[in-house]
Structure 1
Amino acid sequence: MKKLKYNSNYSFILMFVVVMTVVSACKKTTSFEDVILITGTQENKLVKFTVEGVPSSFGVTATATDKVESDVNVSFEVDTTLVELYNTEMSAKYYVLPKGSYELVGNTAVIKAGTNVSNAVTVYIRSLDKFVDGRTYILPVTIKNVTGSMSVLEASRTIYLKVARVIDFKSIDISNPNFYHPYAFAQPYNNITKFTYEIKCYINDWHPGSNQISRLSNWGPVDESLPNLLRFGEAGSKINQLQWVSAEGSTFSKTEFATKTWYTISCVYDGSTYKMYINGKFDSGFDGAGKVYQLGALEIGMSYSGYQTAQRFLGRVAEIRFWDRPLSPTEIQEGICGVDASSAGLVGYWKMNEGDGNTFFDRTGNGRNMTWPKATVWNSDSFNKCAQ
């Protein structure tokens, strides 16, 4: 076999072709024009608007992607018809703000020559009187038009202000083991092939002792063979790790719970998989095999002999909900503070928000009120706040 001789001319020609190809490709690269958009919408069009009282205000500005050579007027408007479009796009269920509850003050802003950000137009929340508990409201503020030759970036034309009300609520304290009791419903809910179970909890402290297990809640058949248990510190886990035990398996939370903090726990079964969410974020899960369940009884704490003290839960609970369908991640995130009692698939909803007495009313109207046989300790203080 003959050796191929190195050809310097060939090498030069090859290098020239590569360089010219790169240059040619660069010339064909799309050039980008400067545009105008609503400030802050590049990463997320949905922006939290925290409302602790009324009136509350939020400033909306426009941004140009480069400094403008002359003044650019940007006019804004509220367009509530965009809520439905956004819900469809995001598979969400946000609500339009009630009429008279908001106001856009000064609908025109100016990006001054030599700058790239406008002054602000102001959105006010004037009233919360017509807001419905459990509903999440958004207000779309959109760029109507601009002066000059710059166009609007369509993906960032609209900002959706998600009204996050700071809500004061009541809860029950279940630190006293004498409170624990399994409550049997007069009419069990049968043949549950899919569900979501939710509960809010607040840990005052972890109870002392060598067996530091805390049992939060449990639900299942009337015969009390309750197959859906939430407990902390079991089976060698850390004292602040939550375990969800079902009839088909169990999972430990990756989240390590802190004291003096409210958590919303959402347990979702879609007929084949079990997924646990903590404060609206997926935490852990396991596979199932089509188990059918019954909601016949609900237990808060653990009343089994000897467990009341040995595995007591030192803390508070509120917002217990049971659905006969798996909630979507968006629905879970939007329900941190509460849900609409008329929501589809909501079988039982106990806000634990009565403030006195021993009856926990089912807000769905399905009649599953629970009149507890034990004394109830109510909490209503600065720790009981929720913002969403």
Structure 2
Amino acid sequence: MRKFLMSTAAVGLTAMPALAEVSDNVVKIGILNDQSGVYADFGGKSSFEAAKMAVEDFGGKVLDAPIEVITADHQNKPDIASNIARQWYDTEQVDSIMELTSSSVGLAVQALSLEEKKITVNTGAATTELTGAQCSPYGFHWAYDTHALAVGTGGALVKEGGDSWYFLTADYAFGYSLEENTSNFVKSQGGTVVGSVRHPLATTDFSSFLLQAQASGAKVIGLANAGLDTQNAIKQASEFGITQGGQKLAALLFTISEVNGLGAEAAQGLNLTESFYWNRTPETAEFGKRFFERTGVMPNMVHAGTYSAVTAYLKAIEAAGTDETEAVAAKMHELPVQDVFAENGKVAANGRMISDVYLMEVKAPDQITEDWDYYNVLATIPGDEAYINPAESGCPLVK
């Protein structure tokens, strides 16, 4: 009997470490984003599906512990997002929160997570402040940011002669960051900024803002907004005959989701920047079709970026042998990011995941050969050119 008890105890001891290194014997990831407002198509419930898809492709477990994904709608309100995040951490044992559209939400939850010593991966927020002055040792930024959008779309239009700009800017952190980054890049290329106007998030009437932009005489009207705001601004600009009058619209944050919502007829000719296109390679096409089967839409850079972020987080847990925050954060900084989203991606000291981005042009309707085949890829912008040099980001973590 003594030998039997000793042998079973030994078996128990050898079986324990895998689960013992995972808090609460489960790895729980929260996808927190806008699921009912202007950014519902931009990320929304499709990002939740992307996260679940990543978990399934990983095998459903890490260190022999099951992986669970939960989600909630923050309604684009930082206070609501912070309350949900605190509840998730305090009562629901959530280990990491991801996606986090929009920028004000992303900053608020990253700050709370620093206090709670939890990992966040922003894939929906855009502001460079996440990896700048407000960076966190446990905060990571995937998929894109306002600097990459400025280099891509802003750079392309200045080269084409669009050297005077006027901005229509969403009145919160994201809009300010996108306007500032694009303005700085336009000026660095010899262009000028003649003015700007700010509009409320989710406004339905852009008429007064567009008339001010039209009266400015700027060659380019930069739309420093996203989601339905950008779609509505483009539709109303057409009604005012702005593009017919010779001014160009720059959709500074526009994804394939919004192109599909606007329609190829209205969107044709737009230049935009994304870090993922489903029809770019055989591997991205295979991923896109699998994603479409479960969501009914093709993935944009936020959806594919969420898939990549979840995968990277799980790989870091596996490599660290634990889900303890310090160890996992260290591995996320150390491991390369090589997946369907990023080829040879790397995580910098400020938490910015650096990978290539792509300058796109929306095809004319007669060029589209299959559903969602909306883009011509005009240029590949290397990640080191698209993103701010970490040493110049203002992040105090970068020595």
Name the TM-score class by shorter chain: under 0.3
**TM-score scaled by length of structure 1:** 0.25
Bigger Rg, which one: 1
* Bigger helix fraction: 2
Structure (1/2) with the larger strand percentage? 1
TM-score, normalised by the number of residues in structure 2: 0.24
